[in-house]
Structure 1
Amino acid sequence: MKAAPKVNIDGLYIEDTLVDDTFSGIVPFYSHTEQGTLDSLTKTQGMTTELDEPSNEPESNISGYIIGIPVTPGLYQPRFDMAAWNGYQATISVAQDSFQQALSGWHTLPEEQRGDKPVVESPPQPTLWIEGLTQEEIEELTSPQPQEPNEVDRLGSEMVARELEAMELRQQNEAQGAQIVGLELRLLSLENS
């Protein structure tokens, strides 16, 4: 089993889903709506429908696709380019038709005139996963956002502020202590004189 991306009908990535290891290509997935429920609702509200018999068969609507091609890393909102995929499939079909014609022509030639057997020339695969966001949306996502400080940061800032206040008070205390010592020394020197 491997993970394959699921996309909505616009090609925007939804989530990964598990598929068989051999899965490749694109497969639609469906959502079901209950038609019978709608019919019974219209009858209870006094409305009539064009159908004589209510249908209890669920309707299937394509909801998106499972993609057998891994998402290109580095995209903010990956989007699968369905138009590029359809164009690529058409190119592959043309290449296979050309190969079949060349191979048929090769088989019709006598063995001594055949030359090398034709080979399929597969076209290069285009970039199928593209960015689904505009440049403005990407800039908005990646711009730095002002963050509110959390409790730990706030307490840390308060603690630093208190330590700075305590250091300032110690310095003032030491300065005043030095002044007192200086005054006491002057008093002693005056008493001794």
Structure 2
Amino acid sequence: MKEAIITDTSGLYVDVTLTSDSDLGVTPIYETPAPDEPDAEPAEPVLTSYRVAIPVTPGLYKPRFDLAAWEAYQAAITAAREDYAAAYAEWSTEDEETRGEPPMFTRPEPPTLWLEGLTPEEIAALHPEPQPSETDAIHLAIAELAQAQANDIDALQLALAEIATLLTGGEA
């Protein structure tokens, strides 16, 4: 048994479930809605979620599975298999002494399938700026007052020097 992720239809993480080790990839989950009337025909099944047997990338706040990337990857694998089958068929028809090594199947590089489901603003909201402690706030206020006092003293000294210059007739 291994862990699989249940996502909603948009790929957002909903729940965790256990699944067989043989389960691979993505499996759609359908539910059949209850009929409105007792004599009504059964309704068509409705896609409600997906079971994803691909591990979630660590470090995501709200994991979202990229179903479009998964489908594109599956199409790329199918195309690579077809290319390999065609190359192998061509290789096998050549003369055994001159054909060389058989072609090798090369699996496409898998894309990043699990993405962040939160916006940068939503992530920033999860980590508000730390508020200074009361002691830190007092130290900051004292430092601001000391700076203001030093600025006042400098201004006072300049004013006194200017008055002294005026009283002595411009000679310092």
- Say yes or no: TM over 0.5: yes
TM normalised by structure 1 equals 0.64
What percentage of aligned pairs have identical amino acids? Answer: 42
Q: Structure 1's 133 and 32: CA in aligned 2 closer, same or farther, altered over 3 A?
A: same
2:96 pairs with 1:111: yes
* 2:106 alignment counterpart: 121
Aligned counterpart in structure 2 of residue 80 of structure 1, from 38, 58, 65: 65
What is the SS of the residue equivalent to 2:15? strand
Pairwise mapping of residues 137-156 of structure 1 onto structure 2 (< 5 A)? 137-143=122-128
- Greater helix percent: which structure? 1
Which ranges in structure 2 are unaligned for 5 or more consecutive residues?
132-172
* 2:141 alignment counterpart: none
Q: Tell which structure's C-alpha radius of gyration is larger.
A: 1
Residue type of the partner of 1:39? E
Which ranges in structure 1 are unaligned for 5 or more consecutive residues?
41-52, 147-193
TM normalised by structure 2 equals 0.71
Aligned counterpart in structure 1 of residue 40 of structure 2, from 43, 51, 54: 54
| Kept after mapping to 2: 8 A contact 1:3/1:16 | yes
Kindly provide the CA deviation profile for residues 64-100 of structure 1, in whole angstroms up to 9, marking residues without a partner as x. 1111110001000000001111111111111111000
Aligned positions, number: 131
Q: CA deviation at 1:9?
A: 0.3
* 2:19 alignment counterpart: 19
Q: Structure 1's 25 and 134: CA in aligned 2 closer, same or farther, altered over 3 A?
A: same
**Cα RMSD, aligned residues only:** 1.6
